[in-house]
Amino acid sequence: MPVTDLLKRGRARAEPAASERAPSAASHALEPLTRTLPEQIAARLAERILNGAYSPGERVREESIATEFAVSRGPAREALRLLEKDGLITILARRGAMVTNLSADEVREIFEIRAVLNGLRDRSVAECEARKQLLPLLEAEVARLAQCARVPALGEQYVETVLQINRLLNRATPNRRLSSYLASLEQQTARYSRLGLSTPERRRQSVQRWQRLVKAIRAGDGAQAERIARERVLESRDAAIALLAAKVATQPGARQPSRIATT
């Protein structure tokens, strides 16, 4: 795929859904042909989970989904199974589906994997000749990050831009299998990425890493690009774990669990 098409496609996929729990009738018109019906429903529900419309620990009822999307319970059930596969919900016997609680253990596991994969991705991009086409797009996105980082109220826009940059780099790597692995981790890491970038201080630290990455890619320095990527992801991991631990510490009589529910 030409690099010049990457940003346009990423922008289209990054468009947020409405945050309301009960979307308008027009929003129920599921997109034809591109994905199966359960996949379309799962994508809508995933957006709500990632945007916080569904809280960790909240039940997601199969019958309510079937009613809302005007489908039988079969596609609704399959959509929930897809969300469970992505780690966004947990299906329990006799209790049904619940939004997965945020977990310090899961942060460690996923982000350690992601640090390695992002490092390989950014190194491959820096060492690829196609980086010269990618750079104007990447520079524009990182400039947008810098603008958001200067305004504390633009935290959500900052996170969305980070997600967009990661999609851009995922598509730019010449390693197609690596790109596929990273795409499969996106939903599992999105909630934690938001948590790890939830403070103005963290966003200012993060944008410095992205600016350094642009310089490394411009210079064709794959080793430096890989180091920066790993540091960036591990910093986000540490910030998310610290915030989860702090939340537990404020709860009277609470002990540090591996599963941490948030409100």
Same domain, 140 and 64: no
* Domain harbouring 178, CATH code: 1.20.120
How many structural domains are present in the chain? Answer: 2
In a domain, 4, yes or no: no
Q: Answer yes or no: is 56 within a domain.
A: yes
With a cut of 90, say whether residue 250 has pLDDT above it. no
Distance CA 80, CA 69 (A): 13
| Mean pLDDT, rounded, for 154-164 | 94
Using an 8 Å Cβ cutoff, are 224 and 123 in contact? no
Q: Is the pLDDT of residue 30 over 60?
A: no
Query: Lowest mean pLDDT: which of 86-95, 224-233, 237-246, 250-259?
Result: 250-259
89 occurs within a structural domain = yes
Q: Which domain holds residue 242?
A: 104-250
Cα 3 from Cα 23, distance rounded (Å): 35
Q: Is residue 209 pLDDT above 80, yes or no?
A: yes
Q: Among 99, 131, 148, which residue terminates a domain?
A: 99
One domain, residues 200 and 141:
yes
Q: Is 54 in the same domain as 111? A: no
Give 97's strand partners: 60, 91
Same structural domain, 86 and 42: yes
**pLDDT at res. 254:** 52
State the sign of the Cα–Cα–Cα–Cα dihedral 194, 145, 112, 17.
positive
Sorted by sequence, the CB contacts under 8 Å of residue 177 that are 6+ apart come out as none
54-77 mean pLDDT:
92
Say if 227 falls within a structural domain: yes
Q: Are residues 94 and 71 in the same domain?
A: yes
* Domain termination site, one of 71, 99, 127: 99
pLDDT at 253 over 80: no
The reported pTM is: 0.74
- CA gap 214, 56 in Å, rounded: 35
